[in-house]
Amino acid sequence: MTPPGRIVLLVTSPRLPAGLLTATAWDALRAGPVFTAAESDQAEALRLSGVQVTVAPADPELLITALPTSGTVVWLAGATGDEDFARRLGLRLAREPALAELELCYGSWDPPGARLLDAVAVMDRLASPGGDPWKQQQTHESLAQYLLEESYEAYDAIADNDLDALREELGDVLLQVVLHARLAENLPEDERWTIDDVAGTLVDKMVRRNPHVFAGEAVDGVEDIIDNWERIKKAEKGRESVLDGIALSQPALALAAKILHRTTRAGLDVPLPEGPDLGATLLRLVAQAQADGQDAEALLRAAALHHAATIRAAESRPPTS
């Protein structure tokens, strides 16, 4: 019995360079005629490599008719995978399995982080002429509040141990990063930067500040790693004070804790302010919490939320006569 022919549905990643395919994919492409529903960079790259690609209607009967006896015919799927066509083709061959075997072949796969490229492309369209007027009118200054809000919402998701919410909230933080980078592309040429500059700076920083991973430097535990990070960071920034680089706009309790932490790590013995002043008293309380291994910001937040719940409960009780 003559074995059935083979119809190969070839799926490729639109996020990789056209023509960068597996050996299995190239074997299939060279084994028989190749059809596709529309022109694409992938089709053009195949033609330049000597593979004839024909643009044709997405019709299962066309592939069956074009199928050589015991041979191969290839359908080059588009960027969306041509799911509807694949379903119709599968149903057609299910009615007459002797016609051909249907084979799904992945010629290339999305690399890790591929959807980040989609995020950049979508934001570019939104922030370009013909896109979203609101985003086009924004500045780094006007967006600053949203970056803080989205970060706080991600913090809330972590505090609630809600990982689904965290995934969504981190997406909103990423939206802010991508939008800021897209707006920076509109700056004067000598000030302009892009999302690639943001990512490149991050990559360089991670490599420099982790010599125990990337340069074979020996470390003795996490404390050595932290010390290396701070030492390298200080050299990079040219900072003169251990307090340089602290975000001064963070909440006051967190700011106080950061200042005290930096002071302690530097081995500085600086007395805390004395007296009945409320600010000085709060600073001493933060220092005591830190000495006890506690987070004053988190403790106050928890106490405030507990009190808020008590208030809500009181509101729900019927009034006393």
Number of alpha carbons in the 13 Å side-chain half-sphere of residue 317: 9
Q: What confidence tens digit (pLDDT) does each residue in 23-36 have?
A: 999 999 999 899 99
- Domains of the chain listed by start with CATH number: 5-106 (3.40.1010.10), 114-193 (1.10.287.1080), 252-315 (no CATH)
Residue 246 pLDDT: 87
CA distance linking residue 296 with residue 286, whole number of Å: 6
Burial category of 127 from C-beta neighbours within 10 Å (exposed 0-12, middle 13-18, buried 19 and up): buried
Answer yes or no: is pLDDT of 228 > 90: no
CA distance linking residue 105 with residue 10, whole number of Å: 5
CA distance linking residue 27 with residue 46, whole number of Å: 12
Instruction: Give, for 139, the enclosing helix (H) or strand (E).
Output: none
For residue 135 the two structure tokens come to: 């985003």
For residue 271 the two structure tokens come to: 């007395």
Sheet holding 53-55, edge to edge: 53-55, 34-36, 72-76, 5-11, 100-106
Residue 3 pLDDT: 59
Residue 37 contacts residue 82 (beta carbons within 8 Å): yes
Number of alpha carbons in the 13 Å side-chain half-sphere of residue 88: 11
Q: What confidence tens digit (pLDDT) does each residue in 86-134 have?
A: 999 999 999 998 889 999 999 999 889 989 999 999 999 999 999 999 9
Q: What's the distance, Cα to Cα, between the start and end of the chain in Å?
A: 94
The segment with the largest mean pLDDT, out of 15-24, 175-184, 225-234, is 175-184
For residue 72 the two structure tokens come to: 């191969």
Q: What confidence tens digit (pLDDT) does each residue in 150-191 have?
A: 999 999 999 899 999 999 999 999 999 999 999 999 999 999
CA proximity to 51, closest of 87, 12, 89: 12
For residue 190 the two structure tokens come to: 């000598």
Residue 260 pLDDT: 92
Answer yes or no: is pLDDT of 15 > 90: no
Q: What confidence tens digit (pLDDT) does each residue in 39-71 have?
A: 999 999 999 999 999 999 999 999 999 987 668
3-state helix, strand, coil in the chain (%, to 5): 55, 10, 35
For residue 156 the two structure tokens come to: 């809330």
CB neighbours of 115 closer than 8 A, spacing ≥ 6? none
For residue 180 the two structure tokens come to: 């800021």
Average pLDDT over residues 194-214: 95
Location of structure tokens 């051909």: 100
CA distance linking residue 105 with residue 114, whole number of Å: 20
CA distance linking residue 38 with residue 19, whole number of Å: 16
Location of structure tokens 């399995």: 97
Residue 60 contacts residue 88 (beta carbons within 8 Å): yes
State what percent of residues in the chain have pLDDT above 70: 98
3-state secondary structure of 115: helix
Average pLDDT over residues 310-315: 92
- Using alpha carbons only, how large is the chain's radius of gyration in Å? 30
Residue 301 pLDDT: 87
CA distance linking residue 262 with residue 274, whole number of Å: 20
Answer yes or no: is pLDDT of 321 > 70: no
Strand pairing partners for 285? none
Burial 50-68 (b: 16+ CB within 10 A, else e): ebebeeeebebeebbebbe
For residue 118 the two structure tokens come to: 């989609």
